[in-house]
Chains A and B, each alone.
Chain A
Amino acid sequence: MRQADWKDRLLLKLGRLRAVRVTGHSMRPTLKDGDVVLVSRSTRLTVGDIVLADHPFKHVTVVKRVTAVTGDRYELRGDDASESSDSRTFGTLSLKDIHGKVVCRLDGAG
């Protein structure tokens, strides 16, 4: 995961990107607990993208990787399968449940 450059920080300032703090370990080693990531509203997704999505059964937002796309259904998995609750338990998601794509990590946030 690349780190935010000045353009990302400008887009954040302009409200074109959202800053989101990751909690938990399911995206290790890519993302660690406490990392801050910037999320674009882009919904043009491909396998390999990391996305921000609504959990289908809980009122929480999750961060996971797209591992398969079948029609309009997206399968999400954590990078660390042993630490992840993902499509293996909550099934696939539709695009309306996906907020956007994680574009970079914002180091030194706070």
Chain B
Amino acid sequence: MFNNFSMTELEVAEAHCDGPCGVYDPAQARIEAESVLQLTKKILDLKMPDGGDQKASAAYQNTLTRFIVIKEERAELAKHHLLVLWTDYFKPQHLETYPELHDLFWKSAKLCSAVKQEISLEHAQELMDNIKRVHEIFWETKGKDVAWFTAS
């Protein structure tokens, strides 16, 4: 007698999963940004062949194009991994401890765009410095002491 409501009328409470694996690590962004830094150096160091040697010119164009394409890809991946950390890992209470968090991620994402547009060692290094700061904050929030290192 007390259950005179239909199931369809009931309000619903979700006990769902967005599928978070809960595994995050700024190393993903660091690896991609480090690739961008190395590719920027390689592009700047690449010697243009003397005129007239068509084979050497083709090889140069091919190598330069590959460096540029990979730099574009890696910069985009660095941005992706940073945005995942920003939007999925970090939570409102982290901002209370690290008020610079939004600005750090916002500027880092913009640097990912800058290093695609430019051949800038300065911006590529600045992106690495920002990711190092993300690394420090991230592992502090996890209560773990994880040393910063680079592959190159």
Contacts and interface: CB of A to CB of B under 8 A. Distances in A.
Interface of A: 6, 9-10, 12-13, 18-27, 31, 33, 36-37, 52, 55-56, 60-64, 73, 78, 82-85, 87-92, 106, 108-110
Those 6 A-B pairs whose CB atoms lie nearest each other, nearest first: A91-B91, A9-B2, A24-B16, A24-B15, A63-B13, A26-B15
A55 to B, nearest CB: 7
Contact of A108 (B3, B15, B18, B91): B3
Nearest to B2: A9
A92 B93 contact: yes
Given A26-B17, A91-B93, 12 more contacts: A10-B2, A21-B7, A24-B16, A25-B16, A26-B16, A61-B12, A61-B14, A83-B16, A89-B91, A91-B91, A92-B91, A109-B7
B10 to A, nearest CB: 4
A87 to B, nearest CB: 8
Given A13-B2, A89-B20, A90-B91, A60 B11 contact: no
Contacts of B5: 19, 109-110
A60 B14 contact: yes
B52 interface: no
Contacts of A83: 15-17
Contacts of B22: 88
Main secondary structure of the interface of A (DSSP, over half): mixed
A12 B1 CA distance: 11
A63 B88 contact: no
A73 B96 CA distance: 13
A36 to B, nearest CB: 7
23 contacts: A13-B2, A21-B12, A25-B16, A25-B17, A26-B17, A27-B15, A31-B15, A37-B13, A61-B11, A61-B13, A62-B14, A62-B15, A62-B16, A63-B14, A82-B17, A89-B88, A89-B91, A91-B93, A92-B93, A106-B3, A109-B7, A110-B3, A110-B7
Contacts of B150: none
Nearest to A30: B15
B92 interface: yes
B11 A18 contact: yes
A23 B10 CA distance: 11
A85 B17 contact: yes
